[in-house]
């Protein structure tokens, strides 16, 4: 049996979810009324049900995100909501809190969210044995580590391939709650990592002023799809449940093109859903929201990944400014630009700045206001007016399921049979006297024309066959009636034949890979504690949210490294770094300060609050 390869798209709401399906997604992930890690992307049960019905028509799946940590007084509310989601046909839940494995749940499939910090093979094997069917791997992993996990367990592996990156290991960032009591693990991240900071060394000297030192570029490993599949990935995930519809459609269309190119030359794999999309735009990742792109650590650490100038969208590179001429700009490749575009550049102060294009005449840009821009400055387009307009059109991505229609005669009249690409069938009959056409002329082409008019249905008639013993006459109204009937019935049949994978959780007691859990395991309720204790854990620290020690806590661990970005890494820049930085290094934003600690052996950076007592290891 061929292995299915899945494109998994984000859906802020029903409209975005349907757009993702139309653009070619094999599955979508969406927030429930509560308990998702994006509190601004919740959906009613009724809207989730509508999305499920639409997705299942294309054999696409709907996963609901329940990946916050839960408090004791929320457990029963969450359990009841899960039963509601199961009843409306949701395919799986994406979870962080192990309390759900202790609940009396319906046989709904469970996936471990990236918030569960899925980094090592032993833990992935444990989760699989506990009943988790899929894990969303940490984005920090390289191809070798992914392969190691894939070899250790047969659990399904999902991996992000495009979108924004959390600078911290997912599920282990406490900067937001420490700074303002908004917990990322409770769905309310304040994105403190995207703020501007000063970098101060151990002597008190300010090395860098007002720069977004923890803001990193967006993720793009779409060119690694063959290698990721070889390593064991079967689901490719797009980040962005808060992104707009242009971003969703553009990213899905781009990834669909990449995956389909791979599938076309690898017959042991197949697409995970049905239908084919026709696009009214040419997808390109840099034409919708992005901060520039990095492959992060998939191919080990090799390039800088910071986006220090701005946490906002950088957009598409156009060219360098050649000159300012009167009230206009002459820009390389200026003919690419359109009226209404937004342009981005880095000004003399090293900050992101921008202008809007009023009009373009022969490649010469007339802006809404003139700003002093030095010749040679790189110009980016972060608002592509024409592209946005074309993608926002409802018909810019139309997905259809292939069908074959066969019209034949029977004893009482005529019969229309439809068969789709998945083998589903439907039949409609028409009782009508058999009369030959005038002059015995064939009207087969006219009949085919009427039968091909599938309109707003999710179907397209790729082949139409007519089997008549004579040139029978059949009124257009009868042809259209049979066509409508067979496709309505086929819709009902496809939904009835959809098979949801179900998985009943059976409580296990196999040993957890470690016996002591610190706060980073996010144990915030009695059921999660009960789960770990049954699996042999002897010491369990409370979640950060329940025991925060103001001013003295470690708020983040990250593979991203400020020293590396500065060319001062004692491992990678040993021969070129010059003088060492004087530690401790401090990040400062207004009155808020953080200390940086560098653990060179695992190649990680820690961020601590200002009153923490740190011990520094030898490099």
3-class secondary structure per residue, 556-613: EEECCCHHHHCCCCCCCCCCCCCCCCCCCEEEEECCEEEEEEEECCCCEEEEEECCCC
What is the spatial distance between Cα 312 and Cα 579, in angstroms, rounded to a whole number? Answer: 33
Helices 245-263 and 385-392: crossing angle in degrees, nearest 10, is 80
pLDDT of 145 > 90? The answer is yes
pLDDT score of 488 more than 90 = yes
Mean of the per-residue pLDDT values of the chain? 95
Query: The domain that contains 333 carries what CATH number?
Result: 2.40.10
Is 461 found in the same domain as 489? Answer: yes
Whether 395 has a pLDDT exceeding 80, the answer reads yes
Tell me the per-residue pLDDT of 370-380, one tens digit each, with 9 for 90 and over.
999 999 999 99
The three-state secondary structure class of 117 is coil
Q: Are residues 67 and 142 in the same domain?
A: yes
> What confidence score (pLDDT) does residue 181 get?
74
Q: Which of 555, 571, 609 is nearest to 168 (CA)?
A: 555
65 shares its domain with 132:
yes
Say if residues 434 and 399 touch (Cβ distance below 8 Å): no
| pLDDT surpasses 80 at 618 | no
At 619, is the pLDDT very low, low, confident or very high (cuts 50, 70, 90)? low
Query: What confidence score (pLDDT) does residue 617 get?
Result: 63
Is this structure's pTM higher than 0.85? yes
- The phi and psi torsions of 126 (rounded to 5 degrees) equal -60, -50
Calculate mean pLDDT across residues 355-362.
Answer: 95
Is residue 350 very low, low, confident or very high in pLDDT (cuts 50, 70, 90)? confident
Residue 592: inside a domain: no
Same structural domain for residues 263 and 133?
Answer: yes
Give the H/E segment covering residue 389.
Answer: helix 385-392
pLDDT at position 613: 83
Rounded mean pLDDT of 395-410?
97
Task: pLDDT band for 349, please (50, 70, 90 cuts).
Answer: confident
Q: Give the pLDDT band (50/70/90) at residue 573.
A: very high
Residue 296's pLDDT is: 97
**The pLDDT of residue 438:** 85
C-alpha dihedral (504, 510, 516, 522), degrees to nearest 10: -10
Of 468, 497, 526, which residue constitutes the final position of a domain?
497
Predicted pLDDT at 351: 87
Q: What percent of the chain lies above the pLDDT cut of 90? A: 92
Range of the domain at 462: 401-497
Residue 458 pLDDT > 90? yes
| CB under 8 A, 24+ apart: contacts of 356-360 | 356/383, 360/334, 360/335
In a shared domain, residues 105 and 160: yes
CB atoms within 10 A of CB 460: 17
Dist. CA 526–CA 536, nearest whole Å: 16
Radius of gyration over every alpha carbon of the chain, rounded to an integer in angstroms: 28
Residues 44 and 113 in one domain: yes
As for how many domains the chain has, the answer is 3
């Amino acid at each position: 049996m061929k292995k299915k390869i899945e494109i998994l798209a984000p859906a802020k709401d029903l409209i975005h979810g349907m757009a993702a399906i139309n653009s070619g997604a094999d599955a979508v992930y969406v927030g429930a009324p509560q308990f998702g890690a994006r509190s601004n992307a919740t959906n009613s049960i009724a809207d989730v049900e509508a999305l499920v019905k639409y997705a299942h028509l294309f054999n696409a799946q709907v996963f609901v995100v329940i990946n916050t940590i839960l408090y004791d007084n929320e457990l029963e509310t969450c359990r009841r909501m899960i039963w509601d989601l199961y009843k409306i046909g949701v395919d799986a839940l994406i979870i962080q809190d192990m309390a759900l494995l202790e609940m009396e749940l319906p046989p709904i499939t469970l996936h471990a969210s990236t918030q569960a910090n899925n980094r090592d093979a032993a833990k992935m094997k444990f989760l699989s044995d506990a009943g988790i069917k899929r894990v969303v791997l940490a984005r920090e992993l390289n191809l070798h580590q992914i392969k190691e996990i894939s070899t250790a367990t047969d659990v399904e592996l999902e991996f992000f391939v495009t979108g924004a990156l959390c600078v911290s290991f997912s599920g282990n960032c406490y900067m937001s709650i420490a700074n303002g009591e908004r917990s990322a693990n409770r769905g309310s991240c304040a994105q403190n990592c995207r703020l501007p900071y000063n970098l101060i060394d151990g002597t008190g000297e300010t090395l860098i002023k007002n720069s977004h030192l923890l803001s990193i570029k967006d993720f793009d490993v779409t060119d690694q799809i063959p290698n990721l599949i070889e390593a064991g990935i079967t689901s490719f995930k797009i980040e962005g449940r808060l992104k707009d519809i242009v971003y969703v459609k553009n990213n899905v269309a781009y990834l669909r093109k990449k995956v389909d190119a791979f599938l076309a030359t690898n017959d042991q794999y197949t697409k995970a859903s049905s239908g084919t999309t026709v696009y009214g735009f040419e997808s390109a990742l840099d034409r919708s929201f992005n901060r520039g792109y990095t492959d992060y650590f998939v191919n080990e650490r090799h390039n800088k990944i910071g986006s220090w100038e701005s946490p906002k969208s950088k957009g598409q590179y156009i060219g360098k400014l050649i000159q300012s001429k009167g009230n206009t700009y002459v820009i390389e490749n200026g003919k690419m630009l359109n009226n209404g575009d937004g342009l981005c550049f880095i000004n003399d102060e090293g900050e992101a700045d921008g202008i809007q294009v009023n009009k373009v005449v022969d490649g010469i840009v007339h802006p809404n206001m003139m700003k002093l821009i030095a010749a040679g400055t790189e110009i980016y387009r972060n608002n592509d007016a024409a592209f946005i307009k074309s993608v926002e059109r409802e018909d810019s991505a139309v997905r259809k399921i292939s069908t074959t229609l066969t019209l034949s005669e029977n004893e009482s009249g005529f019969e229309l049979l439809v068969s789709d690409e998945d083998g589903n069938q439907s039949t409609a009959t028409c009782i009508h006297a058999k009369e030959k056409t005038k002059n015995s002329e064939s009207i087969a082409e006219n009949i085919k024309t009427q039968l091909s008019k599938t309109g707003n249905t999710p179907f397209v008639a790729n082949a139409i066959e007519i089997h008549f013993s004579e040139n029978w006459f059949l009124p257009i109204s009868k042809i259209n009636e049979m066509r409508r009937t067979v496709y309505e019935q086929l819709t009902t049949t496809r939904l009835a034949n959809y098979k949801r994978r179900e998985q009943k959780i059976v409580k296990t007691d196999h040993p957890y890979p470690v016996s002591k859990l610190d706060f980073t395991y996010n144990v915030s309720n009695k059921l999660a504690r009960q789960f770990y204790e049954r699996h042999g854990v002897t010491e369990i620290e409370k979640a950060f949210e329940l025991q925060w020690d103001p001013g003295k806590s470690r708020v983040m661990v990250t593979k991203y490294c400020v020293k590396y970005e500065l060319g001062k890494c004692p491992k990678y820049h040993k021969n070129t770094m010059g003088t060492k930085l004087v530690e401790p290094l401090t990040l400062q934003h207004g009155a808020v300060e953080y200390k940086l600690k560098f653990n060179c052996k695992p190649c990680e950076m820690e961020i601590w609050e200002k009153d923490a007592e740190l011990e520094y290891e030898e490099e």
